[in-house]
Structure 1
Amino acid sequence: MTFLGKIMAVLALVVLASCGGPSSGPAVMAGQGRGPQFGDSAPHPWVGGHPYDHPVHGIDISRWQGDIDWNRVRSSGISFAFIKATEGGDHSDPNFRRYWREAAQARIPRGAYHYFYFCRSGSEQAAWFIANVPRERGAMPPVLDLEWTASKTCPHRPPSHEVLREAKIFKDILHRHYGQRPIIYTTVDFYRDNNLGSWPEEFWLRSVAGHPRIVYPGQRYSFWQYTGTGIVPGIKGNVDLNVFAGSPAQWRVWLNQRLQ
């Protein structure tokens, strides 16, 4: 290849990299030196902005991730973890306490989440969460996961006013106990069906095809779950990947304000 040809090839690669197209390789963010080492097993084009444009990434996990090498996870560029703790009023994730301890040992900020169940009251579910999740200094705020379930034991879809009433009871009890307002995780259909945009809460939004500013127009959020097919060193199989909606400096401020 001639010298001019080499120059043109390099320029073509630069242009291709700047297009923000799908990639199954590692996410490399500008200004971070050695970029994060995670990727996606089922990438696709993004509408309205690419999640890799965000510099602060994290995971959310449950028992299905099995054994985790948390030090490898941290060194790959993961900055936080949300860990499933409870569901309904009588189910706890069998790996929660181990993950909770191991993530702390690896110095990864972590928070616990509860999968809301529509056949139990908000107060019952709050009591169950509190019985399973320690109140400790250094934990991120608890998360209330609100989405329509496909449970065979509870196919009930209550009206919006009932959903909001019981969810509010749950989050208010957790706020009093942990001293932090819970973050609300939700999906597009649940958000729309229950007018969650009317809530003055901190949100973690799921959107696996388009940027939240398009999918949830006008909604402020702190976290965005952008794929369920992430690849992270230290975790076998696919894992959910998320970003924090801010810069590394803003992330540090957010943590300092919330780690009690």
Structure 2
Amino acid sequence: MFSNHARHRSKRRPLRKPLGGALLALTMLIAPSIAQADSGVDVSNYQGCVAQQRARTAKDNGVAFAFVKVSEGRGFTDGVADCSLTGFAQVGVRRAVYHFARPEYGNSADQEADWFLSQTKGYVGQGILPVLDWEPGGGQKSNVAWAKRWLDRVAAAWGTKPLIYMSASTIGMADWSSVANADYGLWVAGYPRGYAGERLRDPGAVPYSVAPWGFAAAWQYSSSGNVPGIGSAVDVNWFYGTAATWAKYANAPIATV
């Protein structure tokens, strides 16, 4: 109930060990209290190509980062991903790329990880965050082992650890300690205002338990955001950190972000 990624399907989301977990944990834990955070969106072909002009409008209206869908399952590629990633890059919006998991189709985690890697290899080392979008059907939401296998395989190839996206309710369906303890950060979804019209804003602290994670790296607080340049029914997100924090997650020098 938390994410509008479901409609993407038919038309078609701890800390970096090399940087020292304690240092980044401190950065992230203090971020909300000192307003080191910013707004962003996540998009797929549902929004169409967000080319330079649209991306500029979005940035001028508060979009600092964008999560862009690039793949799903084993063989599906989002047809506008490269276009949107280019548009956001041209105006200085930070970027992440996500894969929509489909274990319910009988695909292995290795197969889907390899498909994602084949579609994103040109983006490795550019300060872009890889993300696993975890909202599968078929009773697979508690399949922690599958999710961790995908995360491990992508981390090894990218040289940085992906975030994992899931709803607050999904967290409570299984023991995610192995994922949290392996330093895979959490992007959580939960809509306390339901599906009423929303906007880019500071939503404050996540009002749900995110244990076993100590905190969420990002929160998707609505799928009904009105974001100039993107659309009127857009997933809107809050990232608990600055551009420097984003670069740490991506294992990228801040100058490349």
Pair in the same fold by TM > 0.5: yes
Q: Does 1:206 align with 2:189?
A: yes
Runs of 4+ in 1 over 4 A off after TM superposition: 210-213
CA distance in 2, matches of 1:182, 1:235: 25
Match of 1:230 in 2: 225
Match of 1:89 in 2: 74
1:58 pairs with 34, 40, 52, which one? 40
1:128 pairs with 105, 109, 115, which one? 115
The answer to whether the 8 Å contact 1:148/1:190 transfers is no
Tell me the alpha carbon deviations over residues 94-136 of structure 1, each in whole angstroms, 9 at most, x when there is no partner.
1111111111111111010011111210000011001111233
Q: Offset at 1:76?
A: 0.9
Q: Offset at 1:217?
A: 5.1
Could you say what secondary structure the match of 2:129 adopts? Answer: coil
Q: Offset at 1:180?
A: 0.7
Q: Does 1:177 align with 2:157?
A: yes
The answer to whether the 8 Å contact 2:65/2:95 transfers is yes
Match of 1:253 in 2: 244
Q: Which runs of 5+ in 1 are unaligned?
A: 1-52, 150-155
Could you say what secondary structure the match of 2:84 adopts? Answer: helix
CA distance in 1, matches of 2:42, 2:156: 24
- Normalised to the residue count of structure 2, the TM-score between the two structures is 0.70
CA distance in 1, matches of 2:141, 2:123: 32
Give the letter for the 1:202 counterpart.
G
Could you say what secondary structure the match of 2:85 adopts? Answer: helix
Q: Does 1:101 align with 2:86?
A: yes
Q: Offset at 1:230?
A: 0.5
2:209 pairs with 207, 216, 235, which one? 216
What's the Cα RMSD here?
2.3
CA radius of gyration, larger in: 1
- Normalised to the residue count of structure 1, the TM-score between the two structures is 0.69
Match of 2:10 in 1: none
Q: Does 1:110 align with 2:92?
A: no
Q: Offset at 1:195?
A: 2.2
The answer to whether the 8 Å contact 1:67/1:235 transfers is no
With a CA cutoff of 8 Å and minimum separation of 6, indicate the structure with the bigger relative contact order.
2
Q: Does 1:70 align with 2:55?
A: yes
Could you say what secondary structure the match of 1:64 adopts? Answer: coil
